[in-house]
Structure 1
Amino acid sequence: MCNSDNGKCKCLDVKQALLNKVEQLEGAAKRGRTLRELNPDIPAEKTISAEQCNWTLKNCAMFRRFIDRTFE
């Protein structure tokens, strides 16, 4: 898959870096959802909604699939 000129493929490093970013985003969405559940008295404009957290988690799953398929 890699077309590096010097023979040192960085594809796996790039893949892992992308997956790490997706993992960070998943963690943030999970923390946001938990924060919302534990503190229902926080005004809606001060937190991300549970629905938005769930959308983000679904997007993360999709991004993970795209990354895996791209680097097969």
Structure 2
Amino acid sequence: MLPQAGVALGMAAEAAELSDGHMVRNVVLFSVLVYELVGPTLTKLALTAAGEIIPEGRTNARMANKPEFPVSLD
């Protein structure tokens, strides 16, 4: 939800040019990797727990995904 990976990657590229910048680059790249893999899942769990989204359940390509109860936009 916060597109800051590009900023972090740019910072890592600039830090790699410093004397001990390779360690900083490795730490930043690993943290971006973890954030990009875990972030969307945790965001979905948080939004579901807050009641902002309703889980749809399993979907099937052969059948339409119909809700069990009518959804209103009130």
TM category, shorter: 0.3 to 0.5
How high is the TM-score relative to the length of structure 2?
0.43
How high is the TM-score relative to the length of structure 1?
0.43
Task: Specify the structure having the higher radius of gyration (Cα).
Answer: 2
The structure with the greater share of residues assigned to helix is 1
